[in-house]
Structure 1
Amino acid sequence: MTTNETADPAGTRGPGAPAGRPAEARLAAYAAPARRWFDLAGAAMTVETLFTVGRWGALAWTAEGVMRRSAAQETQGVLVFAAASALALTGGWAAGEFRRRGAREVARHLRRWIAGALLPTTRRISEIGPAEAALGMVDLVDDVADYHAEIAPLRRSAPVSMLAVLAIIAVLHWPAAIVLVLTSALIPLNMRLAGLFAQHGADRQWAATQRLNAVVLDSFRGMGTLRELGAVDRRGRTLAGAAERLNRATMSVLRRAFLSGMIIDVVVTFSIAVNATYIGMSLLGYVRVPGAPGLSLFSGLLVLLLCPMYFAPLRTLASAFHQRERAAVAAGAIGDIVEHTPAAVGTIVEHTPTAATRAVLPRLSAPVGVSLHAVRFRYPGAGHDTVTADVAVAPGRWTAITGASGAGKSTLLSLIVGMRRPSSGEVRWQTTLPQPAPGLPAPSVRQAPAPGESAWIGQRTVLLDATVLDNIRLGRQDATKQQIQQAVDAAGLRPVIERLPAGLDSRLGEGGWGMSTGEARRIAIARAFLRGARLWVLDEPTAHLDADSERDVIEALRLATQGCTVVVATHSFALAAVADTVLVMDNGRLQYANPVSAP
């Protein structure tokens, strides 16, 4: 017997983000996929700075030529100014392009990471609410990507750019460089204080955003119920209150950002004013520092033009401090989302005759049996078990689970497909692998449920605003036309499609063709058939159907699931009647209704 534990088979924990990592470390790690683009952006920003220095030097040289009435000097200055300006603009454009590409790369990796953790694929288990998941996928990812695009290149270019500007100023007139160094020493302390001041505001804004997203999502989900209860106005007031709290939190963040920026502006303005006063008085002959070189119009004007350039990176970093705190909150939230979606574990290969089967297991190709051994599941904070089960589901047969509403049927199904883990006991799938060689027995496999490896059909079928073909192809994007036709036939969809004006290319959704509930269920069956899963898990697949539609859906299911294992939760007598085994959920306890048929 060989055991192969795969705690994170797809590496969906993302770029260097192990569980429990602080938000700051997560934030830094998330920039890794775009390091190359940010390096290029930093280099382009440095080049832009150097050519900007040349541009200001040419401007000062031209000004001195005008004062001296030197046409040659004026012409040289104008030509150099034009060339340096063109090169500086090119460097700035390149830096912006590299930053945009870096932001897209960070966002792409983060969204793929979150999707890999939340969607029922790659053996992940999601317990995250849809509002939090949507907020993470859309807003939080952009917060992190935009922050890195703004700051990462600047951190690479700022030291080189500031040292280059300071060195040029020191060569021109070292007392001015000393003034810059002394005043810039005050900025890091102010930036730190501003950052601490902004952190609390960012936390409040994040909490208010979460609240508003949850209220909006719940309102749209329950709009029909709210209308029937006459509670739309009350819900509107709740929504308005959540929006007002977010508005107040956002304005608080903006005020803090404005205050922190104002502090930096005061320091920078003071430094430039001191240098401007000193240079002006030096040019007039009122001030003379012993050992300092003399100032000409060219050197004095160039020093004044370069002083703002020296502080420009620091001002940008300071203005982004509130953005950093917001990105740190977003990074922590993204990490929490993914770390709360653990991977399914445990694959056991029995009777393995060769080393070949110790490799990664292939897609399950034989009917899957399910065993629930001493399984108990209790929701956090609940006072009793929601599910208690100790049964086995035979491979290749239909098993119906009946019981009153709220008895725990849907929770049981989520345990079977691996979307939840039991509080105690174990759920295992059993199947056989292809025969490794003639004369050798086919190895049997026991593994933990693998989300994404089973076919799930629930009470609601979501149809996208797309063609019938696109809606079916959701089950398998690379499906051929022949495979799609087989799925259509297996689901009994051909008569439906023949009635549509463009057949499979007919558009569904808003502005397109509508589908009845029964027809939509058959599209769901076609999707599941196309996936090729050998375990089908159905949650009330005939709910809200009339007798004729229910009969059609049952017939389609029987045809599509030939040779597969089917576990179906249902209140329908017609659906339970076609099952080989019937189980009953009674107050959360699963037991056989017909022991004679039990496997």
Structure 2
Amino acid sequence: MTTNEMYEKSDSAWLAACAAPGRHWFHLSGALRTLETLFTITRWGALAWTAQAAMDRARAHETWGLVAFAVTSVLAVGADWTAGTLAERGARAVATGLRQQLTGALLPTAGRISETGPAEAAWAMVDLADDVADFHARTAPLSRSAPLSMIAVLAVTAAVHWPAAIVLVLSTALLPLNMRLAGLFAQHGVDRQSAATRHLNAVVLDSFRGMRTLRELGAVGRRGRTLTTAAEQLNKATMSVLRRAFLSGMIMDVVITFSIAVNATYIGLSLLGYVQVPHAPRLDLFTGLLVLLVCPMYFAPMRARASAFHQRERALIAVGVIRDIVNDTPAEVIGAVRPRLTEPVGVSLTAVRFRYGGADEDTVTADADFAPGTWTAITGASGSGKSTLLSLIAGLRRPSAGSVRWQTSFVRRAPALGGCAWVGQQTVLLDATVRDNIRLGRPDAAEQRIRQAVEAAGLSAVIEGLPEGLNTRLGEGGWGVSTGEARRIAIARAFLRGARLWLLDEPTAHLDADSEREVVEALRRATDGCTVIVATHSLPLAAAADTVLAIDDGLLHDVRPVKGR
């Protein structure tokens, strides 16, 4: 078995397992699809009976036939609607299950070692989960109902006129080969479409994120042409898939139309008396009309399965991406249990090495101890590994080798996700009030505690200057704050969490001297009695530290004490 065949088998198994959350609904939907077939057969029987009664001028039979036709029509429509509703419910359950897995894998709480790009993450979360769910909603009920429905149609056809059933059986032998060819024919086109979609997602996301830089460089027009090219590539790939699907569907229609035409010709010639199969029952209007009406029903499940071949290829592409993201998540996830809040937390790095997947060299190599209640500054050039080292200490990533431990006088354990406070160089403000933005990490915080966080972060004067104080709305369509004020809101958030270990990633980046001084003063107040590890280029911030460590090409070294705070 080749590597591609092994991956395809794995993807197929994964695709089948994804149906589990909606399997109950799909089973019910399949049962109702079968019931719909039985109601439809009865409906066409009632119509044929009515036509025969009209020819025989049997008024009573004609009336009862019309009543039966109306009743079974209502039942068939009701069964079809209910089956569709149940299939949609199952699809929602499948999509929700996949998105829950993706959420666990993409968020930091999963402790992933490698990174998933935001464009691919959004594509998987928004589009690919729906591709898998839609596939199961279409095929899972069909796989249950199709055999029973085809057997029911074939049994009725054989019961009323067996030569017509033989024609259906002979035609059936041609269809599986065509369905397989249709799937193989469409696979290459779907691969191209998925690659084009991924590329367009990345281009759009990068364009929005870097719009300010593009504008400053005068490169907006060039980027627009890149975006147009990516969109045209996706359009060509999509049209190619549609052409392939149309061609494979046309081949299927030719086979089905030929079978129905043979039966229709035979029935017409038999009714006219030109053809008579030995030992075959006599054909009348009722028999011939019923056979003609139910023959297309025999091929309907096959037609649906053939069109699902194309959808299956899309679902397999989706599953391949989702599986790679989810399977990259470590099996053992560290719980978000906070250390004791009454003590500052020390950190110990023992022979720690970290290497990104596919990298030739380690990104970080470190041996160090951070004493409880002290400030440590980590300096180094951009890209030297400072942020990666902080993420290892926080438990957002796991080391490739060695160990990271948090310790107090009572416990020594691996990093606990959510157990430390993190302040970075970018502060995200939600479209919400100042109060809601501050208590983001602790929604149940009391008002007194929020006021303490505001005071510790040096936000009191800022809050007083806002139109509605803490109730002032920030974000899109709301009030604006400066970068330094936003950074102090982040400090208030961290203070509100009550963590005794603070990790600061360039907290004074892009600030002027006055704003930097205010942020440093806010950090000193908010972190009193806490352990602080800060990655920084700022000399004033490094001067506030008890110890300074340098990191050069990922290697942590040159531990040197500085004057205490």
Number of aligned pairs?
557
Q: Superposed, which structure 2 residues align to 1:450-599 within 5 Å?
A: 450-479=416-445, 481=447, 484-595=450-561
Residues 171-220 of structure 1: CA distance to partner in whole angstroms, max 9, x if unpaired? 11111111111101211111111111111111111111111111222222
Q: CA deviation at 1:130?
A: 1.3
Residues 248-282 of structure 1: CA distance to partner in whole angstroms, max 9, x if unpaired? 11111111111111111111101111111111112
Residues 432-460 of structure 1: CA distance to partner in whole angstroms, max 9, x if unpaired? 5xxxxxxxxx4x2232x344443322111
Equivalent residue for 1:286?
274
Matched, 1:104 2:104: no
Equivalent residue for 2:368?
391
Residues 546-573 of structure 1: CA distance to partner in whole angstroms, max 9, x if unpaired? 3332233223333333443221111222
Matched, 1:425 2:405: no
2:236 corresponds to which letter in structure 1?
Answer: R
Identify the structure with the greater helix proportion: 2
Residues 147-169 of structure 1: CA distance to partner in whole angstroms, max 9, x if unpaired? 11111111111111111111111
Equivalent residue for 1:352?
none
Q: CA deviation at 1:586?
A: 3.6
Deviates more, 1:121-130 or 1:48-57: 121-130
Residues 56-94 of structure 1: CA distance to partner in whole angstroms, max 9, x if unpaired? 122112222222222222221221111111111111111
Q: 1:315 aligns with which of 288, 303, 308?
A: 303
2:517 counterpart SS class: helix
Matched, 1:446 2:421: no
* Alpha carbons of structure 1 residues 463 and 122: separation in structure 2 relative to 1, 3 Å: same
Deviates more, 1:379-388 or 1:94-103: 379-388
Q: 2:177 aligns with which of 164, 186, 189?
A: 189
Q: Is the 1:402–1:585 contact (alpha carbons within 8 Å) kept by the matching residues of 2?
A: yes
Residues in 2 aligned to 1:321 and 1:479: alpha-carbon distance in whole angstroms: 53
Residues in 2 aligned to 1:20 and 1:473: alpha-carbon distance in whole angstroms: 47
1:446 corresponds to which letter in structure 2?
Answer: R
Deviates more, 1:32-41 or 1:227-236: 227-236
* Alpha carbons of structure 1 residues 325 and 458: separation in structure 2 relative to 1, 3 Å: same
2:413 corresponds to which letter in structure 1?
Answer: R
* Alpha carbons of structure 1 residues 203 and 534: separation in structure 2 relative to 1, 3 Å: farther
Equivalent residue for 2:241?
253
1:594 counterpart SS class: strand
Q: Is the 2:162–2:280 contact (alpha carbons within 8 Å) kept by the matching residues of 1?
A: yes
Deviates more, 1:520-529 or 1:415-424: 415-424
* Alpha carbons of structure 1 residues 549 and 377: separation in structure 2 relative to 1, 3 Å: same
Deviates more, 1:543-552 or 1:207-216: 543-552
* Alpha carbons of structure 1 residues 94 and 486: separation in structure 2 relative to 1, 3 Å: farther
Q: Is the 1:125–1:344 contact (alpha carbons within 8 Å) kept by the matching residues of 2?
A: no
Q: 1:177 aligns with which of 165, 177, 180?
A: 165
Which consecutive residues of structure 1, in runs of 5 or more, have no partner in the other structure? 1-18, 348-359, 433-441
1:287 counterpart SS class: coil
Q: 2:62 aligns with which of 74, 77, 91?
A: 74
2:376 counterpart SS class: strand
Q: Superposed, which structure 2 residues align to 1:27-426 within 5 Å?
A: 27-342=15-330, 362-366=337-341, 367-379=344-356, 385-426=362-403
Q: Is the 1:344–1:450 contact (alpha carbons within 8 Å) kept by the matching residues of 2?
A: no
Residues in 2 aligned to 1:156 and 1:20: alpha-carbon distance in whole angstroms: 24
* Alpha carbons of structure 1 residues 580 and 220: separation in structure 2 relative to 1, 3 Å: same
Q: Is the 2:105–2:112 contact (alpha carbons within 8 Å) kept by the matching residues of 1?
A: yes
Q: CA deviation at 1:112?
A: 1.1
1:22 counterpart SS class: helix
1:101 counterpart SS class: helix
Residues in 2 aligned to 1:211 and 1:421: alpha-carbon distance in whole angstroms: 29
Residues in 2 aligned to 1:478 and 1:163: alpha-carbon distance in whole angstroms: 61
* Alpha carbons of structure 1 residues 262 and 522: separation in structure 2 relative to 1, 3 Å: same
Residues 93-125 of structure 1: CA distance to partner in whole angstroms, max 9, x if unpaired? 111111111111111111111110110114444
2:393 counterpart SS class: helix
2:28 corresponds to which letter in structure 1?
Answer: L
* Alpha carbons of structure 1 residues 473 and 91: separation in structure 2 relative to 1, 3 Å: farther
Q: CA deviation at 1:482?
A: 5.4
* Alpha carbons of structure 1 residues 588 and 121: separation in structure 2 relative to 1, 3 Å: closer
Q: Is the 2:15–2:132 contact (alpha carbons within 8 Å) kept by the matching residues of 1?
A: yes
Q: CA deviation at 1:20?
A: 10
Equivalent residue for 1:439?
none
1:131 corresponds to which letter in structure 2?
Answer: A
Residues 448-477 of structure 1: CA distance to partner in whole angstroms, max 9, x if unpaired? x34444332211111223333443343244
Q: CA deviation at 1:145?
A: 1.0
Q: Is the 1:119–1:126 contact (alpha carbons within 8 Å) kept by the matching residues of 2?
A: no
* Alpha carbons of structure 1 residues 477 and 302: separation in structure 2 relative to 1, 3 Å: farther
Equivalent residue for 1:355?
none
Q: CA deviation at 1:480?
A: 5.2
TM-score for both structures, normalised by structure 1:
0.87
Residues in 2 aligned to 1:480 and 1:98: alpha-carbon distance in whole angstroms: 44
1:157 counterpart SS class: helix
* Alpha carbons of structure 1 residues 494 and 188: separation in structure 2 relative to 1, 3 Å: farther
1:539 corresponds to which letter in structure 2?
Answer: D
1:183 corresponds to which letter in structure 2?
Answer: S
Q: CA deviation at 1:340?
A: 2.6
Deviates more, 1:581-590 or 1:302-311: 581-590
* Alpha carbons of structure 1 residues 382 and 156: separation in structure 2 relative to 1, 3 Å: closer
Q: Is the 1:535–1:566 contact (alpha carbons within 8 Å) kept by the matching residues of 2?
A: yes
2:428 counterpart SS class: coil
* Alpha carbons of structure 1 residues 499 and 161: separation in structure 2 relative to 1, 3 Å: farther
1:375 corresponds to which letter in structure 2?
Answer: V
